[in-house]
Amino acid sequence: MERKLIGKFLVRRSTTKDGNPVIVLCGTFIPKNFKSDEISDSDEMWLSDITVHEGGARFTKCLNGRDAGSPEDFLSGENQQPEDWKDRGKL
């Protein structure tokens, strides 16, 4: 069964310690077609395809005077609302 999660995620460019380019991805999601208790506490990684559908948004210029924040800030709930951003565009 394909399990679907609906939510939002932060995508940022970064580099490894060796200087290799990578994409940092973190997010918060709600299960759509299964119950969250089906996930084991020891599960840490799932392999998945991510598709950005039309209607996805890109936010720039945070209004709180800081940059976009770290992935940890995002996961704690900072800068997740459209009102937190000056500019919004389509992906």
Taking a C-beta distance cutoff of 8 angstroms, is the pair 80, 74 a contact? Answer: yes
Phi/psi at 38 (5° precision): -75, -15
CB atoms within 10 A of CB 74: 20
Per-residue model confidence (pLDDT) at position 65: 62
For position 50, what pLDDT does the model report?
74
Q: Bigger pLDDT: 26 or 17?
A: 17
Query: In the numeric block, which tokens belong to residue 90?
Result: 């389509």
What are the residue boundaries of the structural domains of the chain, listed by start? 5-34+50-90
- pLDDT band per the 50, 70, 90 thresholds, residue 68: low
Q: Give this prediction's pTM.
A: 0.50
pLDDT at position 20 is 93
The predicted pLDDT at position 45 comes to 65
Question: What is the tens place of the pLDDT at every residue in 19-62?
Answer: 999 888 888 888 888 888 888 888 776 667 777 767 677 777 77
